[in-house]
Amino acid sequence: MDAFIILAIIIALGIFSKNAAVWIASGALIVFRLLPNEQLLNWTNQYAVKIGIAILTMGVLAPIALGKITIANLLDTVKSGAGILAIIIGIGVAYLGGKGTGLLAAQPQIVTGLMVGTIIGVAFFRGVPVGPLIAAGILALFANLLK
């Protein structure tokens, strides 16, 4: 019963924050939970983050496939200060995302706090809901520093 209440609250927060991804995902999970067999829910638990990351990566790489980014553009990137900084930040974010994935696997109860924080960020600070893995990575970094 707790799962339905929590997911319903997340749906409401998703609707309130105009975050379709959050309310659609929560609604789908409620439907999966209502199915007589938990196989789809278990599959989602095991693979959804990996599939989501692959889809996000495809979206980021699509301009390369469309020919909008060329080798010359890539070479120009490493010649500018902003480009080098972008590479360094990209490395840091990828590192934090990896740490976040590990933390979420080890302590899944953290997801609730991260989702509430993400929804608040979207609803009140015009944020974009792409941060839970990075937020978990930052949390893992701070948690390790506080040990």
In a domain, 140, yes or no: yes
Query: How many structural domains comprise the chain?
Result: 1
How far is it, in rounded angstroms, from Cα 17 to Cα 23? 10
- Mean pLDDT of the 53-61 span: 89
In a domain, 102, yes or no: yes
Q: What is the pLDDT of residue 66?
A: 97
Q: What is the pLDDT of residue 57?
A: 86
What Å distances lie between residue 45 and 24, 37, 71, 113, CA to CA?
A: 16, 14, 38, 18
In a domain, 62, yes or no: no
In a domain, 58, yes or no: no
In a domain, 135, yes or no: yes
Q: What is the pLDDT of residue 131?
A: 67
Give pLDDT tens digits for 16-49: 878 788 889 999 999 999 999 999 999 998 898 7
Average pLDDT, the chain: 85
How far is it, in rounded angstroms, from Cα 77 to Cα 91? 15
Answer with the residue of higher pLDDT: 37 or 143.
37
Contacts of residue 116, Cβ cutoff 8 Å, sequence gap at least 6: 13
Within 13 Å of residue 132, how many CA atoms lie on the same side as its CB?
23
In a domain, 108, yes or no: yes
In a domain, 98, yes or no: yes
Give the helix ranges, DSSP H, for the chain.
2-16, 20-34, 39-65, 71-77, 81-106, 110-125, 132-146
**Whole-structure pTM value:** 0.67
Structural contact between residues 130 and 114, judged by C-beta atoms closer than 8 angstroms: no
Domain range for residue 84?
A: 70-147
In a domain, 144, yes or no: yes
Q: What is the pLDDT of residue 130?
A: 67
Report whether pLDDT(128) > 70: yes
